[in-house]
A and B are shown apart, each in its own frame.
Chain A
């Protein structure tokens, strides 16, 4: 039965999303006719310039924003959804370990896997540290570990690697790829970094600036080896974004 559940795609159909007027600013149409399906266990990257409604779309899919017209059908996997936010959103008054343990119900067998997960994201020495004493990169690692420990079937990510230095971003991308291969899940990943989009995704959805709708929907044709090859990424980037 589980296999049947997982084979159902996610259906997103946002007719319109309007931000209400604030003070002198008129109401603003953020999303218009954004409709797409996401195949199970695929890695969809949503990209587009700042302010095109990427984060708003993700909030709608996550169910955090219900003030829109249209529909979102996550299928039976909707209870196994996790959102990795742009800021790590760890509880500053709980240690790294506690932050991860808190997302599991009490007595859940997965508690036993926490030390292993912390080890895998490279935070063994920071396990009992409070988040504010860690660098942003380390906080992001903790946030990734927290997201993966619940073994989500749908994983939403909102620019999780933005404003990190290059080596840290590269290692976290590799970590994400590794975790995703180990535990396949449907990913919707928002970014404005084109190279990142191509390296990680199996498919790209481009939102048009200003028009607040889908401009392009393409599949990425790269092998796993090519994803580590700068030239191949650049070639694919030119093919997709030249349009």
Chain B
């Protein structure tokens, strides 16, 4: 029975060009299957361990429903999302500006390269504590701390993009008198778009992790705050429930916003 279906589905033509919908459906099926296997594995270990520090998946799901019903889940998740959004936009904007500048001006790059390396290697915990000490326990300090962690990353990515800008296309723009705005919009930015998309995707995953730390340290709302409370009570179910909820949210943003965006900016490729 198996060989027949294998032979049919592995016809080269079908393998080479599955329709987009079928392909994503297949990927989704694989994902669901593998996550289900992980849950089963977790359930077995949890039942075997029989400890309040390792709740079963079902117990965690119960906590998720409870927190959803009493409103904490939505309140804290949206508070965290708002911080992620602001920190993300700020660090993408500033990081891209710095990166493009350094990519285009050799001397500036030589001078600021050391600064960039310094900030790239500065531990997140140091910027967070310093920001809170210097600016107080405020949202502004929290977002500054997150942005300071992310900006060097974006800058390095965008610098690479700006270095590889085509001189040929620049000359073309000069000959046809594009002017600075047309050149930026139709010549420069499209070349930087893939670098920007890559920086955005790696940026989101980094930013939300740091936001949680910042919240645990010095905010009284958000998923990070909720986790720190749960830590004090050794409430593992709540920790896992909030972690899962947030992973889900970030994945939805990834699939619904960032991936389509990346596909759109690279649609012209062969």
Query: With the chains together, A103 CA to B173 CA distance in Å?
Result: 8
A132 touching B270 in the complex, CB below 8 Å, given contacts A82-B175, A89-B172: yes
Closest to A62 in B: B175
Please tell me if the beta carbons of A102 and B186 are within 8 angstroms of each other in the complex: yes
A72-107 contact mask (Cβ, 8 Å, vs B): 1 or 0: 000000000111010101011110000000110000
Query: With the chains together, A130 CA to B190 CA distance in Å?
Result: 14
Please tell me if the beta carbons of A91 and B186 are within 8 angstroms of each other in the complex: yes
Please tell me if the beta carbons of A91 and B182 are within 8 angstroms of each other in the complex: no
Please tell me if the beta carbons of B190 and A102 are within 8 angstroms of each other in the complex: no
Q: Which residues of B contact A12 (CB under 8 A)?
A: none
Contact of A64 among B171, B178, B270 (CB under 8 A): B171
Q: Return B222 CB to nearest CB of chain A, in Å.
A: 39
Query: With the chains together, A87 CA to B168 CA distance in Å?
Result: 9
The size class of the interface chain A forms with chain B is: 10 to 19
A150 at the interface (CB under 8 A from B): yes
B176 at the interface (CB under 8 A from A): yes
**Interface of A toward B, CB cutoff 8 Å:** 62, 64, 81-83, 85, 87, 89, 91-94, 102-103, 130, 132-133, 146, 150
**Interface of B toward A, CB cutoff 8 Å:** 168-169, 171-172, 174-176, 178, 182, 186-187, 190, 193, 268-270
Given contacts A81-B175, A83-B171, A146-B176, could you give 7 more A-B pairs where the C-beta distance is less than 8 Å?
A: A62-B175, A85-B172, A89-B168, A102-B178, A102-B182, A103-B176, A130-B268
A-B contact pairs, 20 of them (CB 8 A): A64-B175, A81-B175, A82-B175, A82-B176, A83-B171, A83-B175, A85-B168, A89-B168, A89-B172, A91-B186, A91-B187, A91-B190, A92-B268, A93-B190, A94-B186, A102-B182, A103-B176, A130-B268, A132-B268, A132-B270
